[in-house]
Every structure is written in structure tokens, then in C-alpha cells.
């Protein structure tokens, strides 16, 4: 067995984030080493010109400042497809028009409810910053599309329409949705009704517009074409759930992912998808046996700034 010496981190030799993640690899210790190793796998994936890349993540990150990191990845065309949850649309669109606020995990939720404030972890979201603004913006755009004669539309096409509508907004460049539209990066929602954005679509449909169809089969056709046209495929997956599973599920049909970086806080022992380490996906054929892969345990709001900062430095 090859033995590598554990080396101390020397802050005096760190000139940038890439230096830090490299030293974390050499430190040989716990999650720090995983972050360093994962940064290198991510760099290899992005520099591989034959590789098509998928970014999957849950909506909760978009309620935080980590939204800015996801936005930069899409603005710089680092990924070719996004698979996420409906709440991503909720938070991203709402934050174009309204502010979210800092709070704490220990706040009195009964008092917050009486004040019309929703708590997501330690982020505070007033009703006027969420449901009220989304009801206005989503309904208006869907009505416009309907009057233009659009009756059948996929989630990624609908999201591009929302991105296009942001062209007139001064904060448009802060938006994930805007950059997906601008760079024609498809954002797919496998479960489009599970959120405020999706509820507005349902409400519109049942309110006299039952010929309006959000066609998720068109999204599946898009993913199918994407997967079968890929010489290689890679994914950065943040959190589990439907977005992670849809990513690895489709990749089994081309023999599995060639690169996979997974960040999770979930335990493995409960048998959940969120807790399943990437090595488990090899047994299903969703990740190749010879793939470069890693599972990193920890909070993505801490890990992503390090890994993506390191990535961007490596691409200069």
C-alpha cells in the first residue's frame, strides 16, 4: 500500500484558494482532505472537453448567499444542464424583487408566524418577499404566454421564458434563471408542482385554462438526447432528493457518470438516497467503475465557496 505523509497546513504559503484546497488534500485529515480531493476531481471534469456536465442542487441554497456561487457557475457556462427543485424558482425569482433577511435557528416560530415571516433555517422570508410577489409575477407571465397561444411547454422552456422576462429588471444578473436563459442552459424540474411557482401554474390551470400543459415528457426527451450524445458525463450534486436521483438515474443508460462529486449532510445508515455515498451508485451502474468520484460530508454553504473558488483560479 502506498503511504502518503500527512503534511501540516502552512498558512504562510497560501496565496489563493487553490493553494488552500491543495494543502487540504495533503493534510490527510477528514473532510479537509475530501474537499481538496473533490476540488481536483471537479477541475478535471471541467477541463475535460469531451465531458458534458450536470449541476444538481436543492432549492434551500438559493435562499442564501450561495445563490451567487451557483449564478457564477452558470454565467461562466461551467455546466451544460441544471436539474433542481421548484423552490429554486421560488427563491431566485422572489429575490429579484424582494429581500430575504438574516435570522437564527433558535427564533420563536410562533411569533414569526404571527408576524407573517417564514423561517428557512436561519434565513427569514416575509410573506411579501415570497408568496405575494410570486403570485403576481408568475401569474402575469403565464397569462401572457397563454394569450400568445402557448398551450404545451416543458419546464426548461418555461424557465427560459421567465429568464427572458427578467431582461428589463435591474437585478437580472443576480439571477440563476436569467443566466440559464441567457446562456441557453436548460434547467429541468422533475417535480414542477412542488413549490409556490408550481402552485401558481396549477392554480392557473384549474382556473379555466385546462388546455395549458406543463409537459415534463419534453424535458425527459431533452435529457435523453443530452445523455446519449455525451462522450463523457460528469456531475456536481449538492444534496439528495429528486434532483440527485434524476441525475444519476439518466446516466445509467450510458454506462454511468465518468465524474461525480457529491456533497451531503445526510447519514448513510438510514438507506436514503440523500445518505447514499457515490460508491453505492456504482452497484447500480449509475457511476462507472473507473470513474473519478467522491462524497464530501458537510454543509454546502461552507464547502462550495472553497471548491468553486479553487476551480475558478485553476481556469485562469
**Cβ(294)–Cβ(278) below 8 Å:** yes
Q: For the chain, what is the mean pLDDT?
A: 97
Residue carrying C-alpha cell 437564527: 104
Residue 187 vs residue 3, higher pLDDT = 187
**For the chain, how are helix, strand and coil distributed in percent, rounded to 5?**
55, 15, 30
Return the CATH number of the domain spanning residue range 1-47+231-316: 3.40.910.10
| Contacts for 18 with CB less than 8 Å, ≥ 6 apart | 39, 309, 310, 313, 314
Please say if the pLDDT value at position 2 is more than 90.
Answer: no
H/E segment holding residue 208:
none
Q: Could you tell me the residue ranges of all domains in the chain? A: 1-47+231-316, 85-230
The answer to whether 1-47+231-316 and 85-230 have equal CATH topology is: yes
pLDDT at 217: 97
Return the DSSP state at 186: -
Give the active site residue among 18, 47, 286, 316.
286
State the pLDDT confidence band at 131, using cuts at 50, 70 and 90: confident
Among this protein's residues, is 286 annotated catalytic? yes
pLDDT digits (tens, 9 = 90+) for 57-114: 999 999 999 999 999 999 999 999 999 999 999 999 999 999 999 999 999 999 999 9
Alpha-carbon span 247 to 134, nearest angstrom: 28
Mean of pLDDT values over 182-211: 96
Maximum Cα–Cα distance across the chain: 69
Please say if the pLDDT value at position 285 is more than 90.
Answer: yes
Mean of pLDDT values over 294-311: 98
pTM of the model: 0.96
Counting every residue, how long is the chain? 316
Q: List beta partners, residue 297.
A: 264
Return the CATH number of the domain spanning residue range 85-230: 3.40.910.10
Helices 196-206 & 131-147, crossing angle to 10 degrees? 50
Q: What Cα–Cα distance (Å) separates residue 190 from each residue in 24, 250, 301?
A: 36, 12, 24
Amino acid at each position: 500500500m502506498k503511504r502518503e505523509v500527512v503534511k501540516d497546513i502552512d498558512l504562510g504559503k497560501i496565496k489563493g484558494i487553490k493553494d488552500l484546497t491543495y494543502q487540504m488534500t495533503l493534510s490527510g485529515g477528514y473532510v479537509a482532505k475530501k474537499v481538496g480531493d473533490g476540488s481536483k476531481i471537479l477541475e478535471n471534469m471541467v477541463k475535460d472537453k469531451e465531458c458534458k456536465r450536470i449541476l444538481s442542487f436543492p432549492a434551500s441554497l438559493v435562499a442564501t448567499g450561495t445563490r451567487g456561487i451557483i449564478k457564477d457557475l452558470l454565467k461562466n457556462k461551467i455546466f451544460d444542464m441544471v436539474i433542481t427543485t421548484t423552490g429554486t424558482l421560488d427563491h431566485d425569482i422572489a429575490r429579484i424583487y424582494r429581500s430575504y433577511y438574516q435570522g437564527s435557528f433558535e427564533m420563536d416560530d410562533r411569533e414569526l408566524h404571527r408576524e407573517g415571516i417564514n423561517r428557512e433555517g436561519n434565513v427569514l422570508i416575509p410573506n411579501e418577499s415570497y408568496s405575494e410577489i410570486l403570485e403576481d409575477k408568475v401569474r402575469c407571465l403565464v397569462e401572457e404566454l397563454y394569450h400568445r397561444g402557448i398551450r404545451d411547454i416543458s419546464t426548461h422552456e418555461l424557465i427560459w421564458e421567465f429568464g427572458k422576462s427578467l431582461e428589463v429588471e435591474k437585478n437580472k444578473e443576480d439571477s440563476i434563471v436569467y443566466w440559464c436563459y441567457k446562456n441557453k442552459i436548460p434547467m429541468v424540474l422533475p417535480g414542477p408542482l412542488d413549490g409556490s411557482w408550481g402552485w401558481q401554474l396549477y392554480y392557473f390551470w384549474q382556473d379555466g385554462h385546462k388546455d395549458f400543459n406543463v409537459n415534463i415528457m419534453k424535458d425527459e426527451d431533452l435529457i435523453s438526447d443530452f445523455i446519449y450524445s455525451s462522450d463523457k458525463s460528469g456531475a456536481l450534486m449538492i444534496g439528495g432528493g429528486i434532483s440527485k436521483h434524476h441525475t444519476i438515474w439518466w446516466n445509467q443508460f450510458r454506462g454511468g457518470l465518468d465524474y461525480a462529486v457529491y456533497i451531503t449532510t445526510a447519514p448513510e445508515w438510514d438507506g436514503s438516497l440523500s445518505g447514499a455515498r457515490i460508491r453505492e451508485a456504482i452497484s447500480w451502474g449509475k457511476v462507472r467503475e473507473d470513474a473519478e468520484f467522491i462524497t464530501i460530508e458537510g454543509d454546502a454553504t461552507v464547502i462550495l465557496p472553497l471548491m468553486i473558488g479553487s476551480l475558478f483560479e485553476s481556469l485562469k
